[in-house]
Structure 1
């Protein structure tokens, strides 16, 4: 990692910087690239394939974009930014090294932004993206004009990052590679503590390891707030942690906090718990309860976060969600239960063989919250299937033999079976961080 990335203090102008992003279509990389361009840098980037984030950047016209990676894409001089997903033998990283270009990990560039602004960072195993997006949305609607970078597109598809003028920065603090420890954080939110990234660079071996990193992340912040579950795990390490506990009302998508009632546009109690954190931070920053209430009620939600994609020919609604950890799977299926009087039918595509192996039983238990679950093959992502022949979705079905699972390997057959199975009052939930989202195109009419 370049010393330039370590020493940058925010006083240098961004205009005149030449930055190239390797893997620009990633959710975090694309947001950083857009903010850098809006701040005045000349930005280019490449990715192996298109993504919703790549296409969102293309729509701005601010960045020179390339599909496929080649030495020809790199500038003659400047900085090259890469993420943990980009291997050292990537042709663009190799070329950057050969040319002596400044190389920065994604987190180093984000750390530069945290030193330029009063930074509000959202950490936790689950709910970071929705919570950070909701906070940015509330602060923006209250007139504070924050800069923000979040890992999901607002619905309908819109930008997920912006360079604001209010001197505030809202980001997600990802624990997967421990890079969150490099950020200069003024306000820290912790949604929860859980073991998720078992196969990643951070090398977590237990939930206690995660709690240690999150407490180190938050301890220097001026204001730190977490959910009750986060407090249960962090209280001894982080005595300054404040807690926001929402109260229930008679309405399914609303909550009480500090004597005020807030209506949410998002179903699921997990969203109410995270929204309570947003309310407390917004109040800390001087936003009125009325301004917060208006924003919470109109928040459009994010792509692939319990996103309604449409209906099947029989009238069953199809929702799409990025959940890829047992806790998240359980939360989305509980949310689905709250919006239907019919059955909840899940289609689950496990993400990573290592995660499937680590949480086989927990996934099976979470999926029993659906009335019927279809299992797709594991989405390998960065892992080599040849090294994981002993792990498959069938392990999940075998963990609870009495549960109702159907394993299907052909997506066209799955779509046909679902179309016949799901009736008017049922909901279908596509669950997973892989490409299960594409199934919606085969299910939804019109």
Structure 2
């Protein structure tokens, strides 16, 4: 596949965060771009406004004729999240198109570039976005394909004139094995996606394969404690080759020192909260230093980093109420997020709304979810968001709720959440999950801001 020859691109599942980044990339190159998704969202509406039309019915007749002729100028991209029986998918195949996964196309794009790939079961979106911001803000520059919407740039794809690209490397479906990076980061390798891998050992095997795809002379930056070979090991605190020290909070802001064997960068302010984000920052700073970016530029960019939408995103921050939304959907992500919230607001009563994501993940980590959800003073638990899965007998919200040791817990619908917040007006509210819980953000914001 020669990306330079492409003139029209159709994306099946265009509303996904990674797919929409590719849509925007090819549109930026001047290609004719369109796509299909089953659900209209704020993101698909935005794509339409940018000149990327989206259809929502699985009807091949609605696909423009320009995309139907197979050849070197037409690229059809799909996400493994779409069902195999989708008519649009099958019709493209019937017409002789070769269909490419999003990950394969990322591999084509990055093949001739200096590639910085950030992998991990969690932490990869914030870390890759921070790396891209460090390079952009310092003037070093880069293109980037991100797994979230950067708050600084209000986009999940960034463009540049140089040949440096930052890629969020997704372990789902072993997607990251299409990449051959010059710099590889692994932020975490907790058991996840066991519907794909079966067990943690096979997940770790995949991360090992990813790291072995480094270009000759490449750099592997790996979180301390992970069972992988590394050029540099990093941590939120030592022992490691590079680490954070003197972590402290001043007026709600996180500060730390970055330490390596040859010295220290002291008094760094990180624009987003949480010890887990300081750990992400240590990895990002390490990359910036490897590229020769000056300490003063690193310091400025860290302070101005505004994070990623739905990653510790403040929705309301007022004297009477604080409301934070987060994408966390794995027990360790929930633990990191809730720990940071409680560290910032130790005296406030915490009301947490959680929507579990996937039946398999809920089944595999039910005890771990229950333990971390007990950190909330009040737990509002929504039904499981199925995404690509069919229900599993005995795996549901009541099963999970029954395992949570808490005096104030209940199962709720989306309307119940709005009613509860309207009636109780919690002083510290969080919503967490990777499903459609984000549809609650605007109504809850409106309720809390209007007495």
Q: Given the alignment of the two structures, is residue 110 of structure 1 paired with residue 110 of structure 2, yes or no? A: no
Provide runs of 4+ in structure 1 moved above 6 Å: none
Q: Distance in 2 between matches of 1:55 and 1:127?
A: 28
How far does residue 17 in structure 1 lie from its aligned partner after superposition? 2.6
How far does residue 311 in structure 1 lie from its aligned partner after superposition? 6.1
Cα distance per residue 1:92-140 (max 9 Å; x no partner)? 1111111112311111111101102111000011011111111111111
Q: Distance in 2 between matches of 1:327 and 1:175?
A: 17
In structure 2, what is the equivalent of residue 337 of structure 1? 342
Indicate if the aligned counterparts of 1:333 and 1:344 stay in contact, CA closer than 8 A: no
Q: How does 1:12-411 map to 2 (within 5 A)?
A: 13-14=4-5, 16-61=6-51, 63-72=52-61, 73-74=63-64, 75-77=67-69, 78-155=74-151, 158-199=154-195, 203-221=196-214, 222-228=218-224, 232-235=225-228, 238-243=229-234, 244-251=242-249, 253-258=254-259, 259-261=264-266, 262-310=268-316, 315-340=320-345, 341-385=347-391, 388-400=392-404, 402-411=405-414
How far does residue 147 in structure 1 lie from its aligned partner after superposition? 0.9
Over 3 Å counting, the alpha-carbon distance change for 1:45 and 1:263 in structure 2 is: same
Q: SS state of the match for residue 177, structure 1? A: helix
Q: How does 1:425-444 map to 2 (within 5 A)?
A: 426-444=427-445
Number of residues paired by the alignment? Answer: 421
Cα distance per residue 1:260-318 (max 9 Å; x no partner)? 13211111100000110000001111111111111111112211111111269x92211
Q: SS state of the match for residue 35, structure 2? A: strand
Indicate if the aligned counterparts of 1:375 and 1:405 stay in contact, CA closer than 8 A: no
Cα distance per residue 1:349-407 (max 9 Å; x no partner)? 1111111111111001111222221111111112223xx2411122222224x323422
How far does residue 247 in structure 1 lie from its aligned partner after superposition? 1.4
Q: Distance in 1 between matches of 2:202 and 2:117?
A: 20
Indicate if the aligned counterparts of 2:220 and 2:230 stay in contact, CA closer than 8 A: no
Indicate if the aligned counterparts of 2:14 and 2:23 stay in contact, CA closer than 8 A: yes
In structure 2, what is the equivalent of residue 419 of structure 1? 422
Q: TM-score, normalised by structure 2?
A: 0.88
What is the Cα-based RMSD across aligned positions, in Å?
2.0
Q: TM-score, normalised by structure 1?
A: 0.89
Over 3 Å counting, the alpha-carbon distance change for 1:65 and 1:157 in structure 2 is: farther
Q: Distance in 2 between matches of 1:273 and 1:410?
A: 35
In structure 1, what is the equivalent of residue 238 of structure 2? none
Structure having the higher strand fraction is: 2
Cα distance per residue 1:310-367 (max 9 Å; x no partner)? 269x922111111100000111111111222312211111111111111111001111
Q: Distance in 2 between matches of 1:130 and 1:330?
A: 16
How far does residue 177 in structure 1 lie from its aligned partner after superposition? 0.7
How far does residue 413 in structure 1 lie from its aligned partner after superposition? 2.7
Q: SS state of the match for residue 20, structure 1? A: strand
Q: SS state of the match for residue 147, structure 2? A: coil
Indicate if the aligned counterparts of 2:68 and 2:92 stay in contact, CA closer than 8 A: no
Over 3 Å counting, the alpha-carbon distance change for 1:239 and 1:281 in structure 2 is: closer
Q: Distance in 1 between matches of 2:412 and 2:152?
A: 31
Over 3 Å counting, the alpha-carbon distance change for 1:288 and 1:379 in structure 2 is: same
**Uncovered stretches (5+) of structure 2, i.e. residues with no partner:** 235-241
How far does residue 219 in structure 1 lie from its aligned partner after superposition? 2.5
Indicate if the aligned counterparts of 1:397 and 1:403 stay in contact, CA closer than 8 A: no
